[in-house]
Amino acid sequence: MPELPEVETTRRGVAPYCEGQTVARVTVRNGSLRWPVPEDLAAQMEGQIIRTVDRRAKYLFLNLDHGTAIIHLGMSGSLRIITDNTPVQKHDHIDLVLHSGVILRFNDPRRFGCWLWSDSAATHPLIASLGPEPLSPEFTGRMLFRLSRSKNTPVKSFIMDSHVVVGVGNIYANEALFKAGIYPRRKAGRISLDRYLRLVESIRETLSAAILMGGTTLRDFVNSDGKPGYFAQSLLVYGRSGEPCPQCGTPLKEIRMSGRSTVYCGRCQR
């Protein structure tokens, strides 16, 4: 599933081609996504200028003069910049044809993504209750410490809660907890302020590095130019169960938490 670094990589890839461009035509080949594509999407967007391409959590915003298209890539979706002579593939569900001749094409084999329309994206039900961005000044160790008091939730689940902070998906939670030396099942309410300060820095460092490397491609994800992300080659623990810990050499362990793979070092993480 594309996580925050992959979505931010996509945003950076498509923004230069879309911002300032007028939407000439919207083609919806299959509107049966996670939620039905609005029947009036074309009417809302055609003739309008895309002012900015922004991201909030794992949602992309195409901000036009009179509303916003809210896009989620789901489990397997991608947005690519193509030319008009590129053949349409089986899972190419939506095209935005711009006056420049460039096409923004949405491909989603599993159809868990979405395209929605909102007059005010910030107040949309999917957006309004989200926590702060992990790379923003609002996300701090003191904030995590305050929110975690009396919480019996495992710290890994706590930092993956989008009401607490957005964009810390499973891969990046594994990596950040390892860097911070925190056992994933430790109760969130039993972690000290100093350790939360360290964890926030680990989350920032992990996500920033992943963005610079174009995200993590494990299965379906490709960037806006069709290329994979390369952060998978830099993963320290995720997907490396049984291998030596990169810090102490102890074999890494794997457990399941909320149905997700969790890899950690039993010696380094407490």
Pick the residue with more confidence: 2 or 126? Answer: 126
For the chain, give the percent of residues with pLDDT over 70: 94
Q: What is the DSSP string of 85-145?
A: TSPPPTTEEEEEEETTS-EEEEE-SS---EEEEES-GGGSTTTTT----TTSTT--HHHHH
User: Rounded mean pLDDT of 223-245?
Assistant: 76
Q: Residue 218 has what pLDDT?
A: 43
Q: Is the dihedral of CA 20, 25, 31, 36 positive or negative?
A: positive
**Nearest Cα residue to 270 out of 183, 153, 194, 179:** 183
The predicted structure's pLDDT at residue 222 = 46
Domain ranges of the chain: 4-123, 141-264
**What integer pLDDT is reported at residue 74 of this predicted model?**
96
Residue 256 corresponds to which tokens in the numbers above? 């399941």
pLDDT reading at 220 higher than 50: no
Higher pLDDT, residue 4 or 214: 4
CATH T-level assignment (fold) for domain 141-264? Helicase, Ruva Protein; domain 3 (1.10.8)
pLDDT at 225: 53
CATH code that applies to domain 4-123: 3.20.190.10
State the number of CA atoms in the 13 A half-sphere of 199 facing the CB: 31
How far apart are the C-alpha atoms of 229 and 7, rounded to whole Å?
A: 11
CA 207/CA 133 separation, integer angstroms: 11
Give pLDDT tens digits for 84-109: 789 999 999 999 999 999 999 999 99
CB 33 within 8 A of CB 94: no
Strand partners, 104: 81, 96
Note the pLDDT of residue 234. Answer: 81
Read off the pLDDT of residues 117-176 as tens digits, 9 standing for 90 and up: 999 999 999 999 999 999 999 999 999 999 999 999 999 999 999 999 999 999 999 999
Catalytic residues, by residue number, are: 2-3, 58, 260
User: pTM of the entire structure?
Assistant: 0.90
- Report how far residue 64's alpha carbon sits from residue 44's, in angstroms, rounded to the nearest whole number: 9
CA distance 205 to 41: 38
Closest CA to 8 of 169, 201, 153, 240: 169
| Strands annotated E in 78-217 | 78-82, 92-98, 103-107, 114-118
Residue 160 in contact with residue 173, Cβ under 8 Å? yes
Spatial distance between the Cα atoms of 103 and 192, rounded to a whole number of angstroms: 50
Do the Cβ atoms of 7 and 55 come closer than 8 Å? yes
CA distance 148 to 154: 10
Question: How high does pLDDT run on average in the chain?
Answer: 93
Checking if the pLDDT of 231 tops 90, the result is no
Instruction: Note whether 58 and 8 are within 8 A (CB).
Output: no
